[in-house]
Amino acid sequence: MRSLRPLAAALLVTVSALTGCAQQSGGDGGTATADYPSQDIRLIVPYAAGGPTDIAARALGTHLEEELGQPVVVENLPGASGTTAYIELISAEPDGHTLSMTALPTAVLNYLSNDVGYTREDFAPVGVVTQVPSGIVVPADSPHQDLESLFEAARSQPDSIGVGTPGATNTHAAETRRISELYDVPLTVVPFDGNAEVQTALLGGNVPAGFVNLSQDMLPAIEAGNLRVLAVGTEERLPYVDAPTFVELGYPELTQSTTTFGVIAPAETPDEVVATLEDALRSAGEDETVVEALDPRYVPEEFVGSAGLAELFVETEETFRDVVGG
């Protein structure tokens, strides 16, 4: 996986404030944190069972049980692009016994686009579990053999190229809008409910292109030759997808579409508890069984902990603040 790019120094002040949320109530090292965890841990998944977030949560949950010595109950709570789960999370006691998976940039785009009842300040970031890159794909029989052909069709016939995305407020929709704004390529976002629906629409000829996660659920169609990847949104080529990067093709700004799956707790979770959870996530990334379950293609080469996930929240805001909604 790609490594995180260094952020501007100015962002670090904001990051410190975000990570500080996890330190405000646990500085005394009292009994409440010394005994953690003292009961079942609830791990909320903001999406339905079977998707990449759910897969990651269940692989992680098994490891956390072994590492922390308490049952981990994975609960799917889909709705409103994750908002339902996040509201449930921040309503819980900030004691580390209620956690949530999160998917960035979707979590950030939700509150940038609408008043959803939370912002990043309501979370205590714990760490990153997996990072799943994205790409623009077309059906195998598409007349567009490369990205420039697709973009030229959009330029010559504005609004003629619809791009299916696995949601309306996610990185794929936002990055598609950035393509239009930064490079004068008039693409139309066509939101669906997840990767599977985008794939069905592509194979059925309902949309000419899709901007999707290149995750476990999408790779079989690519490997079978039913879909072709025109470009990937990472800084370097992926070893498991035969396609150039946007950067190679002359679009250096388009490196923000990777979906980061992480773990968050409610703000004001004690710093000792966050540290315990962070250590458990770090050990999960070193466990061959867990990595195999998560899929080693998506596990970062270097562990990204609480501070790194906090930086990603800030970086996501900076990247997409001006292109959300509409």
Question: One digit per residue, pLDDT tens: the chain, 326 residues?
Answer: 544 444 444 444 444 445 454 444 444 444 457 799 999 999 999 988 877 788 889 989 999 999 999 999 999 999 888 899 999 999 999 999 999 999 999 899 999 989 999 999 999 999 999 999 999 999 999 999 999 999 999 999 988 999 999 888 788 999 999 999 999 999 999 999 888 899 999 999 999 999 999 998 899 999 999 999 999 999 999 999 999 999 999 999 999 999 999 999 999 999 999 999 999 999 999 999 999 989 999 999 999 999 999 999 999 999 998 887 44
In 3-state terms, what secondary structure has residue 87?
helix
Q: Are residues 168 and 103 in the same domain?
A: no
pLDDT attached to residue 198: 95
- 263 and 16 in contact (C-beta within 8 Å)? no
Instruction: Report the predicted TM-score, pTM, of the whole model to 2 decimal places.
Output: 0.83
pLDDT attached to residue 29: 43
Give a yes or no: residue 205 inside a domain.
yes
pLDDT attached to residue 1: 52
Give a yes or no: residue 248 inside a domain.
no
pLDDT attached to residue 305: 98
Q: What type of residue is 71?
A: P
- 186 and 178 in contact (C-beta within 8 Å)? no
Q: Are residues 265 and 221 in the same domain?
A: no
Give a yes or no: residue 239 inside a domain.
no
pLDDT attached to residue 247: 97
Distances in whole angstroms, Cα of residue 141 to Cα of each of 42, 136, 212, 225, 230 = 46, 15, 18, 10, 13
Q: Are residues 55 and 125 in the same domain?
A: yes
pLDDT attached to residue 32: 57
Q: Are residues 115 and 17 in the same domain?
A: yes
Q: Are residues 111 and 178 in the same domain?
A: no
Overall domain count for the chain: 2
Give a yes or no: residue 326 inside a domain.
no
Q: Are residues 84 and 50 in the same domain?
A: yes
Cis amide linkage into residue 105, ω under 30° from 0: yes
pLDDT attached to residue 45: 95
Q: Are residues 124 and 146 in the same domain?
A: no
CATH number for the domain including 60?
A: 3.40.190.150
pLDDT attached to residue 199: 96
Q: Are residues 126 and 154 in the same domain?
A: no
CATH number for the domain including 225?
A: 3.40.190.10
pLDDT attached to residue 17: 46
Give a yes or no: residue 240 inside a domain.
no
- Which of 126, 97, 129 lies closest to 274 in space, CA to CA? 126
Tokens linked to 109: 């785009």
Show the domain range for 270: 9-132+259-320
Give a yes or no: residue 167 inside a domain.
yes
Q: Are residues 114 and 140 in the same domain?
A: no
Q: Are residues 50 and 138 in the same domain?
A: no
Q: Are residues 158 and 51 in the same domain?
A: no
pLDDT attached to residue 202: 98
Sheet architecture: strand order including 123-132: 72-76, 41-45, 98-104, 259-266, 123-132
Q: Are residues 128 and 263 in the same domain?
A: yes
The DSSP secondary-structure symbol of 209 reads E
Q: What type of residue is 3?
A: S
Give a yes or no: residue 249 inside a domain.
no
Give a yes or no: residue 208 inside a domain.
yes
- Which of 221, 141, 154 lies closest to 189 in space, CA to CA? 154
